[in-house]
Amino acid sequence: MSNTNKCCQGDATPSQTCVTPDEFMVRPGQIAPKFTAQAYVQGDYRQISLEEHLGRWVILFFYPGDFTFVCPTELAQLATRQVDWNALDTQILTVSTDSQFVHKMWDEVELSKMVKGGIPFPMVADPNGQIGNSYGVYQQETGVHLRGRFIIDPDGIIQSMEVLNMAVARGTNELIRQIRAFRRVHEANEYTPADWTPDQPGLDKDKVKAGQMWNIWKPENQM
C-alpha cells in the first residue's frame, strides 16, 4: 500500500499531509497554477513568471532532467520548430528540477551542438519540485518530473495535458497540430474532428446535429 493510500485511510504520521488525487491534479478547463522562478534564457539568468506570458499561448513542458538520454532529443526538436511557435504566437517554457546554472551548462555542452544557437526559450529551474507538484507531475520518490505537457490558452486556462513515463518522448508534430486546433476553437468557436488539420473545415457546433456526423465526416476521407 502506498504512503498516500495509508495517509488517506487515517494512518498519516505527523510529518505527512493527507492529499487526495482530486486536491493536487490539475485538469483541462481549470486555471493554470501560477508560478515565478529562476530560469536560464539564451545565455542569461533571469526570473520569469507564467503570468508575464499570459495573453499568448503557452506550452509548459516538464521533463525529468538535464544530461539524460531522451530529454535532449525533446528540447532540441522543440527548438528546431521555433519558427512555428512564433507564427502560432506560442511561448515554450521547459521545466526540470535542475538549477538554472545546470541548464546553462547543458545548453552550452550538448544542446547547442544539436541546435544552432542553442535553446531559444526559457529553461525554468524547479529544484524543489514546487511547480511540478502544483501540476501533478513531480515524483517525490525520485525527485524529478514525469514528462508532463500542458497547453495554456491566452486567458490562462489549461486546454490540454499529457503525462508520459520516462522512456518515451513526446511528438512535436502532434503538439503543433493541437495548438492549431485549440486556436481554431478559441478564435472561430468551432470544434475540430479527429486528425483535423488547418486545411480542413471545423465543425459548427450550432449546425451539427447529434447522430448525423456520419453524413458530414467519414474516416476514409482523413487517410
Query: pLDDT per position in the chain (223 positions), as tens?
Result: 334 443 344 443 333 333 344 445 799 999 999 999 999 999 999 999 999 999 999 999 999 999 999 999 999 999 999 999 999 999 999 999 999 999 999 999 999 999 999 999 999 999 999 999 999 999 999 999 999 999 999 999 999 999 999 999 999 999 999 999 999 999 988 999 999 999 998 998 888 888 888 888 888 776 6
- Indicate if the alpha-carbon torsion angle 90, 42, 138, 51 is positive or negative: negative
Residues taking part in catalysis:
71
According to the model, what pLDDT value does residue 13 have?
Answer: 37
What is the residue-wise DSSP string for 112-134? HHHSTT---S-EEE-TT-HHHHH
Cα–Cα distance for residue pair 60/157, rounded to 1 Å: 12
**Secondary structure element (H or E) that encloses residue 23, with its range:** helix 21-24
pLDDT of residue 24: 52
CA distance 109 to 52: 29
Domains of the chain plus CATH, in order, are: 29-168 (3.40.30.10)
Question: Strands 36-41 and 138-139, how do they pair?
Answer: unpaired
Name the pTM for this structure: 0.87
